[in-house]
Amino acid sequence: MKNIDIIKRLYSDYTTKHLNKIILAIIFSIFVAGATSATAWLLDPAIEKIFINKDQSLIFIIPLLIIIAFATKGISLYLAKVLMIKTAEEVKKNIQIDMLSSFIKADTEKIEDKHSGKYISNLNFDVNQITGMLSNAVLNLFKDGLTLIGLLFVMFFQNWRLSLIALIMLPIASITAKKLGKRIVKVATEAQEKSGDLNKYLIDLFKNHKIIKIFQRENYENERSEKFVNELKEKTIKIHSVFIRSTPIMEVVTGIMIAILIFYSGKLIMNDQLSINNFFSFLAAMMLAYQPVKSLANVNVSFGQGLSAGKRILPIIDQKNKISSNENGKVLDISNASIKFQNINFSYKSNLNNIVLKNINIDIAGRKMTALVGHSGSGKSTILNLIPRIYDADSGEILIDNQKVQNLNLKSLRKEISIVDQNTTLFDDTIFNNIKYAKPEASDEEIFKAAKISMCTDFIEKLEDKFQTVIGENGIKLSGGEKQRLSIARALLKDSKIILLDEATSSLDSETEEKIQKAIDELTKNKTTVVIAHRLSTILNSEKIYVVNKGSIESSGKHDDLIKNSLLYKNFYERQIKNN
């Protein structure tokens, strides 16, 4: 994406709606420029009339006009900055909302493709770069540009020869700005990467805090944290160093210019070609012009940062989902809720060479339980995720009651599917709200009923705040079994026709497993259920069991048939009998 395209996009999508505020800020910038120029110009009559001619009539008027000029400048600058800050923050809000919307709607595979810490850095670091470009660079471009024009007018009015000499500053500032702008794009990109790395590390640190304690790796993590923070510090220093590189250049040039001007002005004054009052007015205008010239030299740097951030942000906002919501598609019509996989092949886009599923053909009976058994990594969970189109198959078809899922309205499809995963996902909210999440319009009675059937009330009643207990990040204040029962309560409340269970009873003690199993029995009554089972004892009565091996269906049938016909299944079963 070219810089001009980024500018057009940011303007059309985010800035144009605030054009009235920006125009008003520009008007105030004109007042700032006029007041600054007036201050320099007023030195001419002040010196000539008051100090040279000793005119008493202006001894009060000119100081009063200077006060008015400074007050106008101060108030106008304040109002202009407030308007641009408000505009920038509105733009920031809108960009962040669009980014969050893109994250929410994005394909799961796309979100999984990059660490969440990197996305957080995009959302904060990069958006702040754009905000800075708008609130500072755009305002300075108008404010300092107009001020410089006004001061140049005063300078030329006083003496055009001196003004031409002073203009040498402008091309030097322009060349400096161009070179620094290129450098800042590279440094800003590196800083964003380091910010993403720090965010990524921070998330991992919180997630794995117990592991750090158990393996006594505090010193190692201290060293790592120092490394990430130090790397970001170095890049931040580089950014600020690039920003101020123009300062010594401009200082030296200004010093040389003043020396040349004093020398040349002295010659002109000695030859009666320049009056002292004209010289001081000119000198004041030139000195006042130094700040806007310096500021304009940094505007290009700020634009470089903002445009560099825009190159990273806009593709995130614009990313197209491969899994279409198909809003105009046919609404799923459930009668029996039978599911068929026909010649399904699948591989993750991040690794196309690794085929996860190969020629999968499965018949899942409606309102019955079907089980998937196999080694870890054999493709069982992927099969489950293809049904609600969390992922889409590379080839083949999945049908629910003979309706192709790819042709269905996605909302109507997912409305009829619930998942209870071994890695239960909960929000840092109350128990009540976590259950209600499945059905926002549900009544309190429905939520309490779902909690009771899923045997959640056993532990909820023991909590001080009952249903209003905040459970912490991903339910950290609850046990594994309690979190699992909450997940089942959520699925019960949704009351969908198809239930997907991904090792919902794994890693639980026998007493908790018994409670979970009872809750699952209630959840799956008269529902089409596809279950991935770690413990074969829970699926012995399944309508059909499919043995998945290295992405293919190795065999299928009822338990007794598989004991006879599938060596892989028989080994699974015998190993569990021995362990029990």
Which string of DSSP letters, residue by residue, matches 85-150?
HHHHHHHHHHHHHHHHHHHHHS-HHHHHTS-HHHHHHIIIIIHHHHHHIIIIIIHHHHHHHHHHHH
| CA–CA separation, 357 and 548 (whole Å) | 10
35, 70 Cβ separation under 8 angstroms: yes
Name residue, tokens 């903002």.
306
What is residue 580's predicted lDDT score, i.e. its pLDDT?
56
| CA–CA separation, 480 and 451 (whole Å) | 16
Interstrand relation of 369-374 and 544-549 (parallel, antiparallel or unpaired): parallel
33, 150 Cβ separation under 8 angstroms: yes
What's at 325, amino acid-wise?
S
Closest CA relative to residue 346, chosen from 338, 356, 334: 356
Name residue, tokens 């410089």.
148
Distances in Å between the alpha carbon of 518 and those of 100, 485, 539? 38, 10, 14
Q: Report the first-to-last Cα separation within the chain, whole angstroms.
A: 61
Closest CA relative to residue 316, chosen from 173, 469, 105, 472: 105
Tens of pLDDT along 175-195?
766 676 667 777 777 887 888
What's the predicted TM-score (pTM) here? 0.79
What is residue 467's predicted lDDT score, i.e. its pLDDT?
95
Cβ atoms < 10 Å from Cβ of 564: 9
Q: Two tokens at 23? A: 């125009």
Walk along the chain (580 residues) and give the pLDDT tens digit of each residue.
787 888 888 888 888 889 899 999 999 999 999 998 888 888 877 777 777 777 777 788 888 988 999 999 999 999 999 999 999 899 999 999 998 988 888 888 888 887 788 888 888 888 888 888 888 888 888 888 888 888 888 888 887 887 887 777 667 766 766 676 667 777 777 887 888 888 888 888 877 777 787 778 888 888 888 888 888 888 888 877 876 776 777 777 777 777 887 888 888 888 877 788 877 888 788 778 777 877 776 777 778 778 888 888 898 888 888 888 888 889 999 999 999 999 999 998 777 667 889 999 999 999 999 999 988 888 999 999 999 999 999 999 999 999 999 999 999 999 999 998 877 888 989 999 999 999 999 999 999 999 998 889 989 999 999 999 999 888 888 888 888 889 989 999 998 999 998 876 665 566 677 777 788 888 888 899 999 977 777 787 888 999 999 999 999 999 888 898 888 888 888 887 656 5
What is residue 497's predicted lDDT score, i.e. its pLDDT?
93
Residues 391, 395, 400: CA angle, nearest 5 degrees: 65
Name residue, tokens 């305002």.
139
Please, what are the domains in the chain? 3-318 (1.20.1560.10), 323-416+499-509+517-580 (3.40.50.300), 421-495 (3.40.50.300)
* Residues facing 408 on adjacent strands: 330
Helix, strand, coil % over all residues of the chain, rounded to 5: 65, 10, 20
481, 516 Cβ separation under 8 angstroms: yes
Closest CA relative to residue 189, chosen from 235, 157, 230, 242: 235
Phi, psi at residue 470, to the nearest 5°? Answer: -80, 125
| CA–CA separation, 448 and 461 (whole Å) | 12
| CA–CA separation, 436 and 482 (whole Å) | 16
Residues whose CB is less than 8 angstroms from the CB of residue 202 and which lie 6 or more positions away in sequence, other chains included = 117
What beta strand segments (E) does 295-443 contain? 339-347, 355-364, 369-374, 395-400, 403-404, 417-421
Distances in Å between the alpha carbon of 319 and those of 14, 104, 264, 315, 323? 18, 12, 61, 6, 12
Strand 544-549: give its sheet, edge to edge. 417-421, 498-502, 528-532, 369-374, 544-549, 552-557
565, 580 Cβ separation under 8 angstroms: no
| CA–CA separation, 580 and 577 (whole Å) | 5
